[in-house]
Structure 1
Amino acid sequence: MDLKHILNEVAERIKKSDEFKQLDKEEQQRFGQVVNQDFLSLKSGGDVPAVDYSAQTNGQALQLKVSLKGARPPIWRRLLVSDTLTLHQLHEVIQAAMGWTNYHLYDFQYGDIYFEEMEEEVEQGSSNFRKIHDSNEALIGNVLVKEGQKLEYTYDFSNNWEHTILLEKKEDKEAAEPLCLKGRRANPPEAVGGVQNYNHALKLLDDPAAHGEKVEFYRDLFAGQDPGHFDLGETNEELRMSLDSKQFPL
Protein backbone atom coordinates (compact mmCIF):
# COMPACT_ATOMS: atom_id res chain seq x y z
CA MET A 1 0.00 0.00 0.00
CA ASP A 2 1.54 3.34 -1.04
CA LEU A 3 1.69 6.52 1.04
CA LYS A 4 -1.10 8.26 -0.91
CA HIS A 5 -3.52 5.41 -0.24
CA ILE A 6 -2.55 5.26 3.44
CA LEU A 7 -3.17 9.00 3.89
CA ASN A 8 -6.56 8.73 2.24
CA GLU A 9 -7.54 5.81 4.48
CA VAL A 10 -6.46 7.73 7.57
CA ALA A 11 -8.57 10.72 6.56
CA GLU A 12 -11.65 8.54 5.99
CA ARG A 13 -11.27 6.82 9.35
CA ILE A 14 -10.98 10.17 11.12
CA LYS A 15 -14.19 11.40 9.46
CA LYS A 16 -16.05 8.28 10.68
CA SER A 17 -14.79 8.58 14.26
CA ASP A 18 -16.99 9.69 17.16
CA GLU A 19 -14.49 12.43 17.99
CA PHE A 20 -14.84 13.93 14.51
CA LYS A 21 -18.64 13.83 14.69
CA GLN A 22 -18.50 15.79 17.96
CA LEU A 23 -16.62 18.67 16.30
CA ASP A 24 -18.58 21.73 15.26
CA LYS A 25 -19.15 22.42 11.57
CA GLU A 26 -16.32 24.96 11.33
CA GLU A 27 -13.80 22.47 12.73
CA GLN A 28 -15.04 19.79 10.34
CA GLN A 29 -14.75 22.26 7.48
CA ARG A 30 -11.19 23.14 8.43
CA PHE A 31 -10.27 19.44 8.56
CA GLY A 32 -11.73 19.05 5.08
CA GLN A 33 -9.57 21.92 3.86
CA VAL A 34 -6.46 20.33 5.33
CA VAL A 35 -7.35 17.05 3.62
CA ASN A 36 -7.71 18.86 0.31
CA GLN A 37 -4.47 20.76 0.75
CA ASP A 38 -2.28 17.86 1.83
CA PHE A 39 -3.86 14.55 0.81
CA LEU A 40 -5.54 15.35 -2.50
CA SER A 41 -2.52 17.24 -3.76
CA LEU A 42 -0.43 14.12 -3.15
CA LYS A 43 -2.86 11.87 -5.00
CA SER A 44 -3.08 14.15 -7.99
CA GLY A 45 0.52 15.29 -8.19
CA GLY A 46 -0.52 18.74 -7.00
CA ASP A 47 -2.86 19.51 -9.91
CA VAL A 48 -6.12 19.60 -7.91
CA PRO A 49 -6.79 23.00 -6.31
CA ALA A 50 -6.70 22.67 -2.54
CA VAL A 51 -9.41 25.13 -1.54
CA ASP A 52 -11.53 27.61 -3.42
CA TYR A 53 -10.38 30.68 -1.51
CA SER A 54 -12.45 32.91 -3.81
CA ALA A 55 -15.76 31.25 -2.88
CA GLN A 56 -18.51 33.61 -1.77
CA THR A 57 -18.65 34.28 1.98
CA ASN A 58 -21.63 35.39 4.06
CA GLY A 59 -20.52 38.88 5.10
CA GLN A 60 -19.80 38.13 8.76
CA ALA A 61 -17.77 40.57 10.82
CA LEU A 62 -14.33 39.29 11.82
CA GLN A 63 -12.42 40.72 14.76
CA LEU A 64 -8.69 40.47 14.02
CA LYS A 65 -5.68 41.31 16.14
CA VAL A 66 -2.67 42.30 14.01
CA SER A 67 0.60 42.22 15.96
CA LEU A 68 4.06 43.22 14.77
CA LYS A 69 6.27 40.24 15.58
CA GLY A 70 9.31 40.90 17.73
CA ALA A 71 8.41 44.46 18.71
CA ARG A 72 9.29 45.31 22.31
CA PRO A 73 7.10 46.78 23.77
CA PRO A 74 4.31 45.16 21.70
CA ILE A 75 2.73 47.00 18.77
CA TRP A 76 -0.71 45.86 17.64
CA ARG A 77 -4.09 46.85 16.20
CA ARG A 78 -7.50 45.27 16.78
CA LEU A 79 -9.56 45.47 13.58
CA LEU A 80 -13.14 44.75 12.58
CA VAL A 81 -13.49 43.71 8.94
CA SER A 82 -15.91 41.85 6.71
CA ASP A 83 -15.13 38.27 5.74
CA THR A 84 -15.78 39.38 2.14
CA LEU A 85 -12.49 41.33 1.96
CA THR A 86 -9.83 39.95 -0.32
CA LEU A 87 -6.42 39.48 1.23
CA HIS A 88 -5.15 42.33 -0.91
CA GLN A 89 -7.82 44.58 0.60
CA LEU A 90 -6.82 43.33 4.04
CA HIS A 91 -3.25 44.30 3.17
CA GLU A 92 -4.47 47.84 2.42
CA VAL A 93 -6.34 47.92 5.74
CA ILE A 94 -3.26 46.80 7.68
CA GLN A 95 -1.07 49.36 5.93
CA ALA A 96 -3.36 52.20 6.95
CA ALA A 97 -4.11 50.97 10.47
CA MET A 98 -0.51 50.15 11.37
CA GLY A 99 0.94 53.25 9.74
CA TRP A 100 3.04 51.70 6.98
CA THR A 101 3.65 53.56 3.73
CA ASN A 102 2.63 50.79 1.28
CA TYR A 103 5.80 51.20 -0.81
CA HIS A 104 6.91 47.56 -0.70
CA LEU A 105 5.78 44.06 -1.62
CA TYR A 106 3.99 41.73 0.78
CA ASP A 107 2.64 38.23 1.20
CA PHE A 108 0.36 36.27 3.50
CA GLN A 109 1.23 32.77 4.67
CA TYR A 110 -1.04 30.06 6.06
CA GLY A 111 0.97 26.92 6.72
CA ASP A 112 2.75 26.16 3.45
CA ILE A 113 0.31 28.23 1.39
CA TYR A 114 1.19 31.76 0.27
CA PHE A 115 -1.03 34.58 -0.97
CA GLU A 116 0.56 37.29 -3.10
CA GLU A 117 -0.51 39.97 -5.54
CA MET A 118 0.16 38.17 -8.81
CA GLU A 119 0.74 39.53 -12.28
CA GLU A 120 -1.90 38.65 -14.86
CA GLU A 121 0.38 36.42 -16.88
CA VAL A 122 1.39 34.37 -13.83
CA GLU A 123 -0.85 31.39 -13.10
CA GLN A 124 -1.72 30.32 -9.59
CA GLY A 125 -0.14 27.09 -8.46
CA SER A 126 3.22 25.95 -7.15
CA SER A 127 6.47 27.81 -7.70
CA ASN A 128 9.80 26.84 -6.13
CA PHE A 129 7.89 24.39 -3.89
CA ARG A 130 5.50 27.13 -2.71
CA LYS A 131 1.75 26.90 -3.14
CA ILE A 132 0.77 30.39 -4.28
CA HIS A 133 -2.67 32.00 -4.60
CA ASP A 134 -3.65 35.44 -5.82
CA SER A 135 -4.35 37.79 -2.91
CA ASN A 136 -6.73 39.75 -5.15
CA GLU A 137 -9.01 36.71 -5.35
CA ALA A 138 -8.67 34.97 -1.97
CA LEU A 139 -11.18 36.12 0.66
CA ILE A 140 -10.17 36.40 4.30
CA GLY A 141 -13.31 34.50 5.34
CA ASN A 142 -12.12 31.45 3.41
CA VAL A 143 -8.67 31.50 5.01
CA LEU A 144 -9.53 32.18 8.65
CA VAL A 145 -12.69 30.22 9.40
CA LYS A 146 -12.35 29.46 13.11
CA GLU A 147 -11.66 31.65 16.12
CA GLY A 148 -8.09 31.24 17.28
CA GLN A 149 -6.65 30.64 13.82
CA LYS A 150 -3.61 32.68 12.76
CA LEU A 151 -2.33 34.02 9.47
CA GLU A 152 1.15 35.41 8.90
CA TYR A 153 1.68 38.66 6.98
CA THR A 154 5.06 40.00 5.85
CA TYR A 155 5.59 43.49 4.47
CA ASP A 156 8.85 44.67 2.84
CA PHE A 157 10.97 41.60 2.17
CA SER A 158 14.25 43.45 2.69
CA ASN A 159 13.38 44.49 6.26
CA ASN A 160 10.90 41.65 6.90
CA TRP A 161 8.22 43.37 8.94
CA GLU A 162 6.40 40.22 10.04
CA HIS A 163 2.94 40.30 11.56
CA THR A 164 0.64 37.74 13.13
CA ILE A 165 -3.06 38.07 12.33
CA LEU A 166 -5.23 36.35 14.92
CA LEU A 167 -8.94 35.72 14.35
CA GLU A 168 -10.23 36.64 17.80
CA LYS A 169 -13.95 36.59 17.14
CA LYS A 170 -16.58 35.95 14.47
CA GLU A 171 -19.76 37.97 14.85
CA ASP A 172 -23.20 37.38 13.35
CA LYS A 173 -23.54 41.03 12.43
CA GLU A 174 -22.25 42.35 9.12
CA ALA A 175 -19.24 44.67 8.98
CA ALA A 176 -20.08 47.78 6.94
CA GLU A 177 -16.49 48.96 6.57
CA PRO A 178 -13.08 48.25 8.13
CA LEU A 179 -12.68 49.77 11.57
CA CYS A 180 -9.89 49.89 14.15
CA LEU A 181 -11.25 49.10 17.60
CA LYS A 182 -8.10 49.45 19.67
CA GLY A 183 -4.33 49.56 19.38
CA ARG A 184 -1.04 50.05 21.12
CA ARG A 185 1.98 52.20 20.27
CA ALA A 186 3.07 53.89 17.07
CA ASN A 187 4.52 51.88 14.22
CA PRO A 188 8.31 51.96 13.64
CA PRO A 189 9.73 54.26 10.97
CA GLU A 190 10.25 52.06 7.90
CA ALA A 191 13.78 53.43 7.40
CA VAL A 192 14.90 52.02 10.76
CA GLY A 193 15.75 48.74 9.03
CA GLY A 194 13.68 46.01 10.66
CA VAL A 195 12.30 45.12 14.06
CA GLN A 196 15.65 44.27 15.69
CA ASN A 197 17.10 47.64 14.70
CA TYR A 198 13.91 49.28 15.96
CA ASN A 199 14.21 47.63 19.37
CA HIS A 200 17.89 48.60 19.50
CA ALA A 201 17.06 52.19 18.54
CA LEU A 202 14.58 52.52 21.40
CA LYS A 203 17.20 51.35 23.89
CA LEU A 204 19.77 53.83 22.58
CA LEU A 205 17.30 56.72 22.61
CA ASP A 206 16.35 55.91 26.20
CA ASP A 207 20.01 55.94 27.27
CA PRO A 208 21.15 59.51 28.09
CA ALA A 209 24.78 58.37 27.96
CA ALA A 210 24.53 56.99 24.42
CA HIS A 211 26.31 58.97 21.71
CA GLY A 212 27.76 58.53 18.22
CA GLU A 213 26.64 58.62 14.60
CA LYS A 214 24.09 55.84 15.02
CA VAL A 215 22.45 57.59 17.95
CA GLU A 216 22.25 60.83 15.97
CA PHE A 217 20.75 58.95 13.02
CA TYR A 218 18.05 57.48 15.25
CA ARG A 219 17.36 60.85 16.87
CA ASP A 220 16.84 62.41 13.45
CA LEU A 221 14.72 59.47 12.32
CA PHE A 222 12.45 59.62 15.37
CA ALA A 223 12.37 63.44 15.55
CA GLY A 224 8.88 64.63 16.44
CA GLN A 225 7.61 61.06 16.92
CA ASP A 226 6.52 59.44 20.14
CA PRO A 227 6.94 55.64 19.86
CA GLY A 228 4.39 55.14 22.63
CA HIS A 229 1.71 57.23 20.91
CA PHE A 230 -1.49 55.70 19.58
CA ASP A 231 -4.60 57.68 18.69
CA LEU A 232 -7.67 55.66 17.79
CA GLY A 233 -9.46 58.57 16.12
CA GLU A 234 -6.45 59.44 13.97
CA THR A 235 -6.02 55.81 12.99
CA ASN A 236 -9.62 55.43 11.86
CA GLU A 237 -9.47 58.72 9.96
CA GLU A 238 -6.32 57.54 8.16
CA LEU A 239 -8.01 54.21 7.49
CA ARG A 240 -11.11 55.91 6.09
CA MET A 241 -9.15 58.25 3.81
CA SER A 242 -6.91 55.46 2.57
CA LEU A 243 -9.79 53.17 1.71
CA ASP A 244 -11.85 55.96 0.17
CA SER A 245 -9.00 56.74 -2.19
CA LYS A 246 -8.90 53.10 -3.28
CA GLN A 247 -12.70 52.85 -3.61
CA PHE A 248 -13.10 49.57 -1.80
CA PRO A 249 -16.06 47.53 -3.09
CA LEU A 250 -17.42 46.87 0.40
Structure 2
Amino acid sequence: MPRQIYQLKVTLADVLPTVWRRVELPAAYTLDRVHRVIQHAMGWQDYHLHSFEVDGVQYGDPDPDGELALRDELDVRLDAVAHKGTRLLYTYDFGDWWEHDLVVEDVFAAEPDERYPRCVAGERACPPEDVGGAFGYADLLVALRDTQHPQHAELRSLVIRGFDPEAFDPGRATTLLRRLA
Protein backbone atom coordinates (compact mmCIF):
# COMPACT_ATOMS: atom_id res chain seq x y z
CA MET A 1 0.00 0.00 0.00
CA PRO A 2 1.41 3.43 -0.89
CA ARG A 3 2.46 5.75 1.87
CA GLN A 4 -0.33 8.11 2.97
CA ILE A 5 0.25 11.87 2.98
CA TYR A 6 -1.73 14.41 5.00
CA GLN A 7 -2.22 17.91 3.67
CA LEU A 8 -2.55 20.32 6.59
CA LYS A 9 -3.47 23.96 6.56
CA VAL A 10 -1.84 25.71 9.51
CA THR A 11 -3.31 29.12 10.37
CA LEU A 12 -1.98 31.39 13.10
CA ALA A 13 -4.99 32.47 15.19
CA ASP A 14 -5.79 36.08 16.13
CA VAL A 15 -3.27 37.59 13.68
CA LEU A 16 -4.38 39.93 10.91
CA PRO A 17 -3.62 39.86 8.10
CA THR A 18 -3.69 36.08 8.30
CA VAL A 19 -0.46 34.07 8.44
CA TRP A 20 -0.89 30.52 7.14
CA ARG A 21 0.93 27.54 5.61
CA ARG A 22 -0.12 24.47 3.65
CA VAL A 23 2.12 21.49 4.32
CA GLU A 24 2.19 17.90 3.16
CA LEU A 25 3.67 15.29 5.46
CA PRO A 26 3.56 11.54 6.04
CA ALA A 27 0.45 10.41 7.92
CA ALA A 28 2.68 8.15 10.04
CA TYR A 29 4.57 11.10 11.59
CA THR A 30 4.32 11.22 15.35
CA LEU A 31 3.09 14.48 16.85
CA ASP A 32 6.63 15.48 17.85
CA ARG A 33 7.57 15.41 14.16
CA VAL A 34 4.40 17.34 13.26
CA HIS A 35 5.59 19.94 15.81
CA ARG A 36 8.92 20.22 14.00
CA VAL A 37 7.16 20.55 10.63
CA ILE A 38 5.06 23.43 11.99
CA GLN A 39 8.14 25.10 13.50
CA HIS A 40 10.06 25.03 10.20
CA ALA A 41 7.11 25.88 7.97
CA MET A 42 5.95 28.80 10.10
CA GLY A 43 9.42 30.15 10.79
CA TRP A 44 9.49 29.70 14.57
CA GLN A 45 12.80 28.95 16.28
CA ASP A 46 11.56 26.23 18.70
CA TYR A 47 12.63 28.19 21.79
CA HIS A 48 9.46 27.49 23.77
CA LEU A 49 7.12 24.77 24.98
CA HIS A 50 4.19 23.63 22.87
CA SER A 51 1.15 21.37 22.96
CA PHE A 52 -1.44 19.85 20.67
CA GLU A 53 -5.11 19.46 21.47
CA VAL A 54 -7.19 16.91 19.60
CA ASP A 55 -10.76 16.17 20.68
CA GLY A 56 -10.11 17.59 24.15
CA VAL A 57 -6.93 15.54 24.71
CA GLN A 58 -3.61 17.40 25.06
CA TYR A 59 -0.29 16.07 23.76
CA GLY A 60 3.24 17.39 24.10
CA ASP A 61 6.52 16.83 25.91
CA PRO A 62 5.69 15.12 29.21
CA ASP A 63 6.06 17.54 32.11
CA PRO A 64 8.55 16.09 34.64
CA ASP A 65 6.95 18.21 37.40
CA GLY A 66 3.47 16.95 36.56
CA GLU A 67 1.99 20.44 36.31
CA LEU A 68 0.80 19.91 32.74
CA ALA A 69 -1.32 16.86 31.99
CA LEU A 70 0.04 16.08 28.54
CA ARG A 71 0.11 12.73 26.81
CA ASP A 72 3.50 11.99 25.28
CA GLU A 73 3.54 13.21 21.67
CA LEU A 74 6.30 10.70 20.84
CA ASP A 75 3.79 7.88 21.29
CA VAL A 76 1.05 9.27 19.02
CA ARG A 77 0.95 9.15 15.24
CA LEU A 78 -0.94 11.82 13.33
CA ASP A 79 -3.06 9.22 11.53
CA ALA A 80 -4.12 7.76 14.90
CA VAL A 81 -5.76 11.02 16.04
CA ALA A 82 -6.73 12.75 12.79
CA HIS A 83 -8.36 12.08 9.44
CA LYS A 84 -9.62 14.27 6.61
CA GLY A 85 -11.56 17.16 8.10
CA THR A 86 -10.07 16.89 11.60
CA ARG A 87 -9.19 20.16 13.37
CA LEU A 88 -6.29 20.23 15.79
CA LEU A 89 -5.11 23.06 18.00
CA TYR A 90 -1.37 23.65 18.28
CA THR A 91 -0.13 26.13 20.88
CA TYR A 92 3.43 27.39 20.83
CA ASP A 93 5.07 29.50 23.57
CA PHE A 94 2.90 29.42 26.66
CA GLY A 95 3.95 33.00 27.46
CA ASP A 96 3.07 34.63 24.13
CA TRP A 97 0.41 31.95 23.53
CA TRP A 98 0.55 31.51 19.76
CA GLU A 99 -2.43 29.35 18.80
CA HIS A 100 -2.45 27.61 15.43
CA ASP A 101 -5.53 26.09 13.87
CA LEU A 102 -4.59 22.91 11.97
CA VAL A 103 -7.03 21.36 9.50
CA VAL A 104 -6.45 18.09 7.69
CA GLU A 105 -7.56 19.26 4.26
CA ASP A 106 -6.77 16.09 2.33
CA VAL A 107 -5.30 12.60 2.57
CA PHE A 108 -3.69 11.07 -0.51
CA ALA A 109 -1.12 8.55 -1.68
CA ALA A 110 2.45 9.81 -1.81
CA GLU A 111 3.71 10.72 -5.23
CA PRO A 112 6.48 8.21 -6.06
CA ASP A 113 9.14 10.78 -6.98
CA GLU A 114 8.25 13.41 -4.36
CA ARG A 115 10.02 14.01 -1.06
CA TYR A 116 8.00 14.79 2.05
CA PRO A 117 7.45 16.82 4.14
CA ARG A 118 7.03 19.89 1.98
CA CYS A 119 5.41 23.31 2.17
CA VAL A 120 3.29 23.95 -0.90
CA ALA A 121 1.77 27.35 -0.08
CA GLY A 122 1.42 30.05 2.52
CA GLU A 123 1.12 33.74 3.13
CA ARG A 124 3.02 36.28 5.20
CA ALA A 125 6.01 36.02 7.47
CA CYS A 126 5.77 34.42 10.86
CA PRO A 127 5.88 36.95 13.69
CA PRO A 128 9.26 37.25 15.41
CA GLU A 129 9.73 35.30 18.64
CA ASP A 130 8.91 36.97 21.95
CA VAL A 131 6.94 39.97 20.67
CA GLY A 132 4.08 39.49 23.12
CA GLY A 133 1.70 37.24 21.22
CA ALA A 134 -0.94 38.36 18.74
CA PHE A 135 -1.55 41.70 20.47
CA GLY A 136 2.17 42.49 20.76
CA TYR A 137 2.62 41.59 17.11
CA ALA A 138 -0.24 43.91 16.10
CA ASP A 139 1.47 46.72 18.04
CA LEU A 140 4.79 45.88 16.38
CA LEU A 141 3.24 46.10 12.90
CA VAL A 142 1.74 49.51 13.68
CA ALA A 143 5.08 50.80 14.98
CA LEU A 144 7.05 49.41 12.03
CA ARG A 145 4.72 51.03 9.46
CA ASP A 146 4.77 54.46 11.12
CA THR A 147 8.24 56.06 11.16
CA GLN A 148 6.83 58.75 13.50
CA HIS A 149 5.63 56.17 16.04
CA PRO A 150 7.39 56.75 19.40
CA GLN A 151 8.61 53.14 19.47
CA HIS A 152 9.49 52.80 15.78
CA ALA A 153 13.29 52.90 16.18
CA GLU A 154 13.32 50.74 19.30
CA LEU A 155 11.07 48.04 17.83
CA ARG A 156 12.82 48.18 14.46
CA SER A 157 16.08 47.34 16.24
CA LEU A 158 14.47 44.30 17.92
CA VAL A 159 13.30 42.70 14.69
CA ILE A 160 15.47 40.58 12.48
CA ARG A 161 17.22 42.69 9.86
CA GLY A 162 15.17 42.77 6.69
CA PHE A 163 11.98 41.48 8.34
CA ASP A 164 9.10 41.90 5.91
CA PRO A 165 5.72 40.91 7.39
CA GLU A 166 4.33 40.31 3.89
CA ALA A 167 7.11 37.98 2.72
CA PHE A 168 6.91 34.20 2.62
CA ASP A 169 8.75 31.69 0.41
CA PRO A 170 7.33 28.12 0.44
CA GLY A 171 10.46 26.88 -1.34
CA ARG A 172 12.67 28.07 1.51
CA ALA A 173 10.30 26.48 4.04
CA THR A 174 10.47 23.20 2.12
CA THR A 175 14.28 23.35 2.17
CA LEU A 176 14.14 23.62 5.96
CA LEU A 177 11.59 20.80 6.14
CA ARG A 178 13.84 18.47 4.11
CA ARG A 179 16.20 18.40 7.09
CA LEU A 180 13.49 16.44 8.94
CA ALA A 181 13.12 13.73 6.33
Q: TM-score, normalised by structure 2?
A: 0.88
Gaps of 5+ in 1: 1-57
Match for 1:165 among 93, 98, 102?
Answer: 102
User: What code does the residue aligned with 2:171 have?
Assistant: G
Distance 2:58 2:17 in 1: 29
TM alignment of 1:27-66, pairs within 5 A:
59-66=3-10
After superposing on structure 2, the runs of 4+ consecutive aligned residues of structure 1 that deviate more than 6 Å are: none
Residues 1:204 and 2:143 are matched in the alignment: yes
Instruction: Tell me whether 84-93 or 186-195 shows the greater mean CA deviation.
Output: 186-195
Residues 1:194 and 2:138 are matched in the alignment: no
Match for 1:136 among 44, 49, 74?
Answer: 74
Distance 1:162 1:217 in 2: 27
Gaps of 5+ in 2: none
Aligned position for 1:73: 17
Distance 2:135 2:101 in 1: 17
Aligned position for 1:153: 90
SS in 2 for 1:171: strand
8 Å contact from structure 2 (residues 21, 122) kept in 1: yes
Identity among equivalent pairs (%)? 36
Q: 1:128 to 1:190 in 2, by over 3 A?
A: closer
Larger-Rg structure? 1
1:128 to partner: Cα distance: 7.4
1:176 to partner: Cα distance: 4.5
Q: 1:129 to 1:188 in 2, by over 3 A?
A: closer
Residues 1:216 and 2:157 are matched in the alignment: no
Aligned position for 1:109: 53
SS in 2 for 1:115: strand
1:88 to partner: Cα distance: 0.3
SS in 2 for 1:192: coil
Distance 2:82 2:74 in 1: 16
Distance 2:146 2:169 in 1: 26
Aligned position for 2:178: 240
User: What code does the residue aligned with 2:55 have?
Assistant: G
Query: How many residues of Structure 1 are paired with residues of Structure 2 in the alignment?
Result: 178
Q: 1:101 to 1:129 in 2, by over 3 A?
A: closer
Distance 2:68 2:50 in 1: 18
Q: TM-score, normalised by structure 1?
A: 0.65
Q: Deviation digits for residues 65-101 of structure 1, max 9, x if unmatched?
A: 0111111111011000111000000001111111111
1:182 to partner: Cα distance: 0.5
Distance 2:3 2:110 in 1: 8
1:209 to partner: Cα distance: 3.3
Q: Which has the higher contact order (CA 8 A, sep 6+)?
A: 2
Going by fraction, where is helix more abundant, 1 or 2?
1
Going by fraction, where is strand more abundant, 1 or 2?
2
User: What code does the residue aligned with 1:225 have?
Assistant: F
Q: 1:159 to 1:218 in 2, by over 3 A?
A: same
1:142 to partner: Cα distance: 1.1
Q: 1:203 to 1:138 in 2, by over 3 A?
A: same
Distance 2:50 2:172 in 1: 24
SS in 2 for 1:168: strand
